[in-house]
């Protein structure tokens, strides 16, 4: 007997009186079909991520962390259908806003133009409805980057086996934060 059968049998035995029994069984049900990313969506996410967290001489950018793969997993596995729709329509809006503002595809914009466009969208996001597609993109980029191997080990100060805790270490301007 597997878990699904055991829970169903228990629910029948108790006359279906288990509160939230559907929630127990929900984990056993195949997830409804979620939206999928096209290859050009993933390329766009990498460029957006690299604009948010660019490569510097001291640390890799979001592309090095394969940010599009992280975002794809989070959106398809963790977002509701409504949030997925917001996210995917946001990808299309980024493309449209690039065309409107610069008469070019986002992918062919210069880095300064990409930055300027995303700053405008970020300002719009801070004043608009919640959740805003760009807030989702930005939050997933930051989360994915700093939880990735290059982000945690190269952008932050990383100590694989830390020593004793010292809560009063002087911080010098320009030092990396601790991972």
Q: Per residue of the chain (179 residues), what is the pLDDT tens digit?
A: 666 676 666 555 555 444 444 444 555 444 556 678 999 999 999 999 999 999 999 899 999 999 999 999 999 999 999 999 999 999 999 999 999 999 999 999 999 999 999 999 999 998 877 789 999 999 999 999 999 999 888 888 887 777 777 778 788 888 887 76
H runs (alpha helix) in the chain: 3-13, 21-26, 39-52, 67-78, 81-102, 111-127, 133-146, 149-150
Closest CA to 136 of 77, 81, 88, 64: 88
């Amino acid at each position: 007997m597997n878990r699904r059968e055991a829970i169903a049998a228990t629910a029948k035995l108790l006359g279906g009186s288990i509160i939230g029994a559907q929630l127990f069984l929900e984990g056993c049900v195949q997830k409804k079909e979620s939206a999928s990313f096209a290859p050009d969506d993933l390329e766009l996410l990498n460029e957006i991520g690299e604009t948010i967290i660019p490569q510097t001489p001291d640390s890799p950018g979001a592309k090095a962390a394969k940010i599009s793969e992280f975002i794809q997993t989070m959106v398809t596995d963790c977002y509701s259908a409504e949030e997925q729709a917001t996210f995917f329509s946001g990808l299309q809006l980024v493309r449209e806003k690039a065309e409107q503002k610069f008469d070019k595809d986002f992918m062919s914009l210069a880095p300064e133009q990409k930055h300027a466009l995303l700053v405008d969208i970020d300002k719009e996001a801070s004043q608009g409805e919640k959740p805003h597609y760009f807030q989702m993109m930005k939050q997933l980029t930051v989360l994915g980057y700093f939880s990735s191997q290059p982000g945690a080990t190269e952008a932050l100060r990383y100590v694989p086996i830390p020593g004793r805790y010292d809560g009063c270490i002087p911080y010098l301007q320009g030092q990396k934060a601790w991972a």
